[in-house]
Amino acid sequence: MRAIGSEIGKDPKTGKRRFLLNSSWLFTVLLFLQGALVVTGGAVRLTGSGLGCPTWPECTKGSIKPVAHQAQGQLHAWIEFGNRLIAWLIFLVAIAALVYVQRRLKDRENFKTIRLLAISQLAGFLAQVILGGITVLTKLNPLAVSAHFALSIPLIAAALSLRSKVKARPNIFISSTTQLVSRIVLGLTVLVVLVGTIVTGSGPHAGDIQAKRYNIAPRDISYIHADLVIALIALTLGLWLVIRAAESPEVRENYGGKVLVFLLISLAQGAVGYIQYFTGLPELIVGVHLLGATLVWVSCWNFYSIGSTTSISKGKQ
């Protein structure tokens, strides 16, 4: 099967040579934007700009964008508006991705799967817009804010899977033991990320000075979060050792290499978490931690999604 990429051929109608540009950038941009939505959303909270645009779907009454002399201040308004713009960029790129899939990949054996992943990006945009509106209209209720972030978890995973399948990357055959431990690592990663949103929702960075917080002691939930991170790192190390001991050299290099990347990112993320806790949660370090959470999830799904206990041909990816 010919991979999607730069290729030169002849136009069947004119007989002239033609050049098809590499299309993978479109799906890379989509994945980047899904991650950027999380990071810019964190910037909104860390700068106290959660209500920089106090209305929805408008930014301020009578205007879709910030206006001069807005009561919330130009900086806060544009930070919040910038986050909203990221969502609309996702919408435009997702439409382009769906059109590309529909027009260029119809002959793929897994066309329906690829199309469903592309559609999920549009559906996710609509859900994020609705959750964003609820978040603003409820004055940054922590449940709405957490749901807004949690929705990004499956959307980032779907964007990464979409990119991989468009590029026709083959699955890696792994043992049932490796797959079982990988599933546990995946589930624990999701739990770590979700508990992290509760930690944030109980801490000082609410997005607005008057925003409600979870009625949970920040110290207690932070300790629970730290324990889960330690368990995740230990289990991931165990997974890597299982791969080293029981899998073929190819699996050790490809699947094991991706697990090792995840382990290293998780270790770095854990270190940043401890630094931010013991330095009083400075905004810059908290922002780095939020970026790290996104990278942790991407790197986890990057190895989990390519593992299979059944041999699947490349054309069926």
Cβ proximity of 47 and 79 under 8 Å: yes
- The torsion defined by the Cα of 40, 46, 49 and 55, in degrees rounded to 10, comes to 70
Q: Which residue has the tokens 């790129």?
A: 93
Instruction: Please give the pLDDT value at position 204.
Output: 87
Q: Cβ-count burial of 279 within 10 angstroms (0-12 exposed, 13-18 middle, 19+ buried)?
A: exposed
Domain ranges for the chain, please list them: 1-169, 170-317
Report how far residue 289's alpha carbon sits from residue 275's, in angstroms, rounded to the nearest whole number: 10
The answer, as to whether pTM is greater than 0.85, is yes
Q: Please list the ranges in the chain whose pLDDT falls under 50.
A: 1-12, 14-21, 312-317
Report how far residue 25's alpha carbon sits from residue 163's, in angstroms, rounded to the nearest whole number: 9
Q: Where are the beta strands (DSSP E) in 147-228?
A: 172-173
Report how far residue 27's alpha carbon sits from residue 161's, in angstroms, rounded to the nearest whole number: 10
Sign of the torsion angle spanned by Cα atoms 234, 236, 240, 243: positive
Cβ proximity of 265 and 295 under 8 Å: yes
- For 136-161, the pLDDT digits (tens) are 999 999 999 999 999 999 999 999 99
